[in-house]
Amino acid sequence: MILVTGGAGFIGANFVLDWLAQSDEAVVNLDKLTYAGNLETLASLNGDARHHFVRGDIGDRALVGQLLAQHQPRAVINFAAESHVDRSIHGPGEFIQTNVVGTFNLLEAVRGYWNTLPDDRKAAFRFLHVSTDEVYGTLAPDAPPFTETHPYEPNSPYSASKAASDHLVRAWHHTYGLPVLTTNCSNNYGPYHFPEKLIPLVILNALAGKPLPVYGDGQQVRDWLFVRDHCSAIRRVLEAGRLGETYNVGGWNEKANLDVVQTICTLLDELQPRADGKGYAEQITFVADRPGHDRRYAIDARKLEKELGWKPAETFETGIRKTVQWYLAHPAWVNNVTSGAYRDWVQQQYGA
């Protein structure tokens, strides 16, 4: 049994689906179902006894403690977070609450549980914290990619809150001996990505005939990784990572934002051409830049590759094609997300 937090979000849900496709080890999935949590993504697990969903907050120490005592997991994998940089600029409070205070309360609940375990299970237990490359700050165009020893220099309220959570996890290992692992991953993309983030936003806006908003000059660089490759990296680190270590996860796929948007337009021109015969790139619109916008992220993933033998399965070219095809093939999921129907369902089901 493992306990996953944030397992109704983009990466957490992909992780749960991948995990149960490869293993019969059950998953307790604790998720608050914020605007970013979507049970539609997990619909294929309805009635599957290996998946136990609980709506709740990682900051609710009593609830987490009760779940741990009841299910006795051998590992906790923490995906739960506020994750969108633009939202953190408009309203940082929730980011501090969940990413910092929430992680603190989760660590305390886990520490309490871990202390009750017999020695063999105590030694085998793992707390894996899923973090981001954004904690390292921004890179100059010619600087080498981030290694695990790069200083923490977060620039947005989001990345500062994630950096704080990473430090808490580190401290709980050094001070209390909690067996922790941390992964710092680059930008993910793939199925079930909420359309507030660049790639799904561009795909769906293009199909809806809306502008494709590119911030500033569009020359900011991100290092893209297909979400299932992130999931395989987490599984590998959970299996064989050295305690207290951090592992960078990335696919060596640096791209400027404008190139990403143009690639999506070209794929859509091929797979679902516009009715008027024009290219989707006509919809590209340059808009005001994000305040404090980090210019470049790039991940050096050699530690994970060399130490644990992990390799991504997808290149950006194969992954982005699969992603565009997935959005074209799943209009029901897309419609529910864009219409807010899944939020209505949560309201109806949970009354809040």
Which residues of this chain interact with ligand DAU, rule CB under 6 A? 83-85, 132-134, 186-187, 197-198, 201, 213-215, 220, 222, 257, 290, 297
* CA 328, chain centre distance (Å): 22
Q: Which stretch binds ligand NAD (CB under 6 A): 33-41, 42-50, 260-268, 326-334?
A: 33-41
352: exposed, middle or buried (Cβ count in 10 Å: 0-12, 13-18, 19+) = exposed
Q: How far is the CB of 195 from ligand NAD (least distance, A)?
A: 11
Task: Scan for tokens 């749960």, then name that residue.
Answer: 16
Asked if 249 contacts 225 with a C-beta cutoff of 8 angstroms, the reply is yes
58 binds, among ligand NAD, ligand DAU, none (CB under 5 to 8 A by kind): ligand NAD
Judged by CB under 6 A, the residue of 4, 27, 33, 203 near ligand NAD is 33
Q: Are strands 180-185 and 75-78 parallel, antiparallel or unpaired?
A: unpaired
Rounded CA separation 352/338 (Å): 19
Q: How far is the CB of 351 from ligand NAD (least distance, A)?
A: 17
Paired strand residues for 127: 76, 180
11 part of the interface to ligand NAD, by CB under 6 A: yes
81 part of the interface to ligand NAD, by CB under 6 A: yes
257 binds, among ligand DAU, ligand NAD, none (CB under 5 to 8 A by kind): ligand DAU
Binding mask 288-317 for ligand NAD (x = CB under 6 A): ------------------------------
6 binds, among ligand DAU, ligand NAD, none (CB under 5 to 8 A by kind): ligand NAD
Among positions 96-115, residues that touch ligand NAD (CB under 6 A) are 98, 102
What are the two backbone dihedrals, phi and then psi, of residue 284, each rounded to the nearest 5 degrees?
-65, 130
Asked if 228 contacts 312 with a C-beta cutoff of 8 angstroms, the reply is no
Closest CA to 10 of 84, 74, 89, 75: 84
Closer CB to ligand NAD, 185 or 237, in the complex: 185
The strand order across the sheet containing 254-256 reads 187-189, 221-226, 254-256
Q: How far is the CB of 60 from ligand NAD (least distance, A)?
A: 8
134: exposed, middle or buried (Cβ count in 10 Å: 0-12, 13-18, 19+) = buried
User: Among all residues, which ones are annotated catalytic?
Assistant: 133-134, 158
Q: How far is the CB of 11 from ligand DAU (least distance, A)?
A: 9
Length of the chain: 352
Asked if 98 contacts 162 with a C-beta cutoff of 8 angstroms, the reply is no
Rounded CA separation 177/168 (Å): 13
Q: How far is the CB of 315 from ligand NAD (least distance, A)?
A: 17
Q: Which helix (H) or strand (E) holds 248?
A: strand 246-249
229 binds, among ligand NAD, ligand DAU, none (CB under 5 to 8 A by kind): none
Rounded CA separation 70/49 (Å): 16
Closest CA to 8 of 50, 55, 59, 75: 55
10 binds, among ligand NAD, ligand DAU, none (CB under 5 to 8 A by kind): ligand NAD
**DSSP, res 51:** E
222 binds, among ligand NAD, ligand DAU, none (CB under 5 to 8 A by kind): ligand DAU
Tokens linked to 27: 């998953």
Rounded CA separation 319/125 (Å): 33
Closer CB to ligand DAU, 144 or 291, in the complex: 291
Closer CB to ligand NAD, 101 or 281, in the complex: 101
Judged by CB under 6 A, the residue of 29, 132, 263, 336 near ligand NAD is 132
Q: How far is the CB of 75 from ligand NAD (least distance, A)?
A: 16
215 binds, among ligand DAU, ligand NAD, none (CB under 5 to 8 A by kind): ligand DAU
Interacting residue ranges for ligand NAD, rule: CB under 6 A? 5-6, 8-12, 30-34, 36-37, 57-59, 79-83, 98, 102, 130-132, 162, 185, 187-188, 194
